[in-house]
Amino acid sequence: MTVQENSIALTGRRVVVTGGASGMGAGLVRAFPKLGANVVSMDVVEDAGAAIAKDAGAQFVACDVSEPESVKSALGQSVSLLGGLDVLIHAAGTAPGGAAEDITFATWSEVMSINATGTFLTNQAAFEHLKASGGQILNFASAAGVQGLPNKAAYSASKGAVVAWTRTVAREWARYDITVNAIAPAIWTPMYDKTRASMTPEQLAAHDAFMASAVPLGGKLGDVDEHFVPVLAFLSSIGARFITGQVFPIDGGTLMMR
């Protein structure tokens, strides 16, 4: 294997993925072992998470990312299973909708505790295992956290916090050789299928017309395996070790960062 090939390989990389029981997190749990990585999936949904991990040749640890002790314990257990840690991918999240004026305190608190506080807790826990020898952290941001998204005010606010946190700790933790980046994905998942199924034929037609103009590449959300996994694989490889504090849209050109 050449130096260039080795720099983007995942062979032997020790990776923890949160939110591994569904959506994009599950896609990574299924894909990364095939690319040579050793993977532990963490999720609050135990049955589905454990089944997906087992089928993929990964391991599973139950975790509630909004609870400090759960995160600390689960990360410690995961690192023990892996024999160390190279990469944390924090994919766990929630995205309820609704008009801003109608958001309840309970909904606001839940979204913030999972998306924003979950990022804070998992990143801090990973830091303790990475500070001696360096490593990589990948957080899940969103276009909503950069430019806002109507009817997703709490979600947008939480993802704005993820962006600000990521850029700040990227500066602070660089001296430990820890890189911290975020992605802003627009990927087709089972959750999106449910959203589409809840629309009337008229709403679906309007939505698809909007997507056709909003996504320059293809006019629709991307595919997990074709469009999403390859980018995450690179960002989890040692070839990405000179990149930090960035937000990478994986969205067909919808959000053009600058």
| pTM higher than 0.95 | no
**Domain edges within the chain:** 3-187+224-249, 190-221
pLDDT in tens, the chain (258 residues): 554 556 678 999 999 999 999 999 999 999 999 999 999 999 999 999 999 999 999 999 999 999 999 999 999 999 999 999 999 999 999 988 889 999 999 999 999 999 999 999 999 999 999 999 999 999 999 998 999 988 889 999 999 999 999 999 999 999 999 999 999 999 998 878 888 888 899 989 998 998 999 899 999 999 999 999 999 999 999 999 999 999 999 999 999 987
Q: What angle do CA 47, 49, 54 make, to 5 degrees?
A: 95
Question: How many Å is the Cα radius of gyration of the chain?
Answer: 18
- SS3 for the chain is CCHHHHHCCCCCCEEEEECCCCHHHHHHHHHHHHHCCEEEEEECCHHHHHHHHHHHCCEEEECCCCCHHHHHHHHHHHHHHHCCCCEEEECCCCCCCECHHHCCHHHHHHHHHHHHHHHHHHHHHHHHHHCCCCEEEEEECCCHHHHCCCCEHHHHHHHHHHHHHHHHHHHHCHHHCEEEEEEEECECCHHHHHHHHCCCHHHHHHHHHHHHHHCCCCCCCECHHHHHHHHHHHHCCHHHCCCCCCEEEECCCCCCCC
CA distance 217 to 174: 34
Measured CA to CA, the distance from residue 222 to residue 141 in angstroms comes to 16
Whole-angstrom distance between the N-terminal and C-terminal Cα of the chain?
Answer: 35
Cα–Cα distance for residue pair 14/88, rounded to 1 Å: 9
Contacts of 87 (CB under 8 A, 6+ apart): 13, 14, 15, 16, 135, 136, 137, 138, 236
Return the closest-CA partner of residue 167 out of 250, 239, 248, 254.
248
Q: Tokens 């360096």 identify what position?
A: 134
Fold classified for 3-187+224-249: Rossmann fold (3.40.50)
What is the pLDDT at residue 141?
A: 97
**Three-state secondary structure readout of 30-88:** HHHHHHCCEEEEEECCHHHHHHHHHHHCCEEEECCCCCHHHHHHHHHHHHHHHCCCCEE
Measured at the alpha carbon of residue 110, what is the angle toward residues 164 and 65, in degrees to the nearest 5? 70
